[in-house]
């Protein structure tokens, strides 16, 4: 019984000093394109997006998880899609003044593309980002960032196949093995 009490005390003591950083953000995501069998390229329309970072501080930065979701439509085709990213990320804080902090970071993870024109919905993805944080108090800050998001896709996959006067055609396939998107976000950072 003493062992379990000691373990519980250690867990409680260490967790009381832990800090959790939660940053919900809204933003705008643009970029990404697909190509049809005739070589015509269709860009993904820029749209608003939602993102959430849950992190913990480490030495001169922080580590944690980043989630983002964007709904989009292919320009000129009226075809909807949704891309979700989940990354493990790490960033380095660079103090500018007492209340301003700049940061840069990278992340790795996966993406889920929910679209009719994709066969393999899950792919490897990566991110690179930079931002500024203005601290109002030790527990509340305004956060702004720009972020590159890239995801691997299989360019051998085709979808939206149809039959036109007896000829079978596939309307869409990915232009390359890598789709790049760019995102700008603004949010509030809460420290607990």
Domains in the chain: boundaries: 18-191
Q: Is pLDDT above 80 for 91?
A: yes
The per-residue pLDDT for 92 is 98
For 12-38, write each residue's pLDDT tens digit.
444 445 599 999 999 999 988 776 666
Residues 39-47 have a mean pLDDT of 80
* Cβ pair 114, 155 in contact under 8 A: no
Q: What is the pLDDT of residue 71?
A: 87
Average pLDDT value over all residues in the chain: 82
- What's the pLDDT at 9? 45
109: pLDDT confidence band, cut at 50, 70 and 90?
very high
Tell me the sheet residues that pair with 189. 141
Region 3-7: what's the mean pLDDT? 49
Query: How is residue 45 written in tokens?
Result: 């329309």
| Cα 46–chain centre separation | 15
Query: How many residues does the structure list for the chain?
Result: 192
Q: Is the pLDDT of residue 142 over 60?
A: yes
Give yes or no for residue 99 having a pLDDT over 60: yes
- Tell me what pLDDT residue 39 has: 72
Q: Residue 78 has which token pair?
A: 């009226």
How far is residue 166's CA from residue 161's CA, in Å, rounded to a whole number?
Answer: 12
**Into which CATH architecture does domain 18-191 fall?**
Beta Barrel (2.40)
Q: What's the mean pLDDT in 56-83?
A: 88
Confidence grade of residue 46 (pLDDT, cut at 50, 70, 90): confident
């Amino acid at each position: 019984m003493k062992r379990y009490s000691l373990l519980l005390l250690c867990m409680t003591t260490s967790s009381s000093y832990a800090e959790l950083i939660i940053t919900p953000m809204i933003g705008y995501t643009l970029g990404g394109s697909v190509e049809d069998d005739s070589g015509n390229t269709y860009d993904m329309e820029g749209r608003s997006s939602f993102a959430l970072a849950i992190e913990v501080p480490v030495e001169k930065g922080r580590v944690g998880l980043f989630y983002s979701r964007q709904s989009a439509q292919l320009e000129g085709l009226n075809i909807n899609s949704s891309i979700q990213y989940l990354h493990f990320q790490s960033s380095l804080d660079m103090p500018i003044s007492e209340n301003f902090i700049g940061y840069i970071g990278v992340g790795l993870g996966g993406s889920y593309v929910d679209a009719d024109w994709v066969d393999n919905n899950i792919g490897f993805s990566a991110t690179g980002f930079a931002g500024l944080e203005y601290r109002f108090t030790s527990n509340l800050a305004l956060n702004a960032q720009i972020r590159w998001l890239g995801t691997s896709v299989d360019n051998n996959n085709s979808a939206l196949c149809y039959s036109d006067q007896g000829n079978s055609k596939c309307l869409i396939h990915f232009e390359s093995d890598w789709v790049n998107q760019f995102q700008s976000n603004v949010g509030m950072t809460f420290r607990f």
